[in-house]
Amino acid sequence: MKSCSIVKGNLTNSTIWVVCVLFWLATAAQAGVVYVDQNATPLIRDGLTWCSAFATLGPALDVAVNAGDSIIEIRIAQGVYTPPPTTLPDARDATVQLINDVSLIGGYAGCRGARPDDRDITRYETIITGDQNLDDALMEFGDNSFHVITGNGTNASAVIDGFTITGGFAHGDSRPAPRTGGRNIGAGMVNDSGSPTVRNCIFQGNKAEIGGGMKNRNSSVIVINAIFRDNDASFFNLSGGNGGGMDNENSTPTIINCTFVGNTSGGTGGGMCVLGSDVTIYNSIFWDNTAPGPQDETAEISVSFDSTITVTNSCIQDINPDDASVAYGGTANGNIDDDPLFVSLLDDLHLTANSPCRDTGDQNFLLPYVVTDLDGHARILCQDVDMGAYESGIGDQNCDTIINLADFSAWLTCMNGPAPSKTLISCQAYDYASDSDVDLLDYAAFQQSVTAAN
């Protein structure tokens, strides 16, 4: 392992520190990657490998900023992380500030894994929480970060991918914040004049007065394969507030294959609030979000103040589900209001075999680099992309919605190598491990699925 070794001579300690930092940056630039793993226990934490990873986010973010354009990724292993401490007077202004041309990627096995670079955001859940003192279980929220993640001043090259974002608490303080907009907005994430890319993230349990899960102001954020659930936007008396899941103000966000469930607002837009904005939504599900008044489509998405909204191939709950009247462009836009039939509305938002959201999205709305779902499985497994964050069909090689021995026929062919195609009957349905290689490990998982289904 490389390290910084200097014979002191007449050098001052500060000079030695500068030389060491420059040495580190030169070494890191060769790889372009910084590693963070709270579970690694190295003698030296230099962030250059999984087993010498930084334990916290702060040093990795500092290195990426100071390294110019030589660092392109910060990889973070499974665990629970908090925003780095702030130099601002209020400790609650601590936030994870995204960086242009740098991808913040979670869900890795890390140093203690048999294969540290294995990535599975469900198995290796990586949480960033605003609960700085980890005392939310005691109902102590007053010390939480106002915003867990901040995308201010960024463009689409600033990427966050593979995290559960929780514990943001933007309440009771409307002062302008030095770098994060108002302190009462965007508890999970705030984008004020910033337009980052958000992929494969779960925003859960964040509370603000406006924009519980995410607040966008003067921004054009892209959100893909994300879940917004159990976020809240309301004042302390539970009245007022906008956008439990997401609030958009003078913004142009694009939402692709996302699921908004169980978010609440004390004012308008339990799922999403759109004010003076132009919002585009593809292949997404808005269900069981609540706001005062009739629990119709406006409880899911509230639109006002000269806004425009384009909703296509999406499922939006209204006051009379499963009827012929569908909001936001209706069936002409491929939208439905049928119950999406989740495995469990409470804790499992995968689609069941009979879900009307299966194969009813439109793959033409996928961006070229969107090839997997929130699980890391192929984004298209049967006829077309599903609505929502998860794709159905893993193990169902013949696409008959049943996993049984009839799906066995192509195993020998598929085990000969990777399967890059997106065809009706493809090897990707066998790739349980999401590593583009069908092997005996996948076969073992398939056998378990067959046994469970029969």
Per-residue pLDDT of the chain (454 residues; tens, 9 = 90+): 333 433 333 434 433 334 344 444 445 545 799 999 999 987 889 999 999 999 999 999 999 999 878 999 999 999 999 999 998 888 999 999 999 999 999 999 999 999 999 999 999 999 999 998 888 777 778 889 999 999 999 999 999 999 999 999 998 676 666 555 588 999 999 999 999 999 999 999 999 999 999 999 999 999 999 999 999 999 876 677 899 999 999 999 999 999 999 999 999 999 999 999 999 999 999 999 999 988 889 999 999 988 999 999 999 999 887 776 888 888 889 999 999 999 999 999 999 999 999 999 999 999 998 989 999 999 999 889 999 999 998 888 888 888 888 888 777 778 765 555 544 456 888 888 877 778 888 888 888 888 776 6
**Confidence (pLDDT) at 96:** 97
| H helix runs in 124-216, sequence order | none
pLDDT at 157: 97
pTM of the predicted model as reported, rounded to 2 decimal places: 0.89
**What's the pLDDT at 450?**
82
> Going edge to edge, which strands form the sheet with 227-229?
79-81, 126-129, 164-166, 202-204, 227-229, 259-261, 285-287, 315-316
User: C-alpha angle 358/363/364, rounded to 5°?
Assistant: 150
Measured between alpha carbons, how far is 297 from 305 in angstroms, rounded to an integer? 17
CA distance 395 to 87: 50
Q: How far apart are CA 257 and CA 310, in angstroms?
A: 14
Tell me what pLDDT residue 453 has: 65
Q: Tell me how crowded residue 174 is: count the other CB atoms within 10 A of its CB.
A: 12
Res 359: pLDDT: 95
List C-alpha distances in Å: 390 to 77, 394, 421.
22, 11, 19
Residues 6+ apart with CB under 8 A from 173: 146, 183, 184
Burial class (CB in 10 A: 0-12, 13-18, 19+), 222: middle
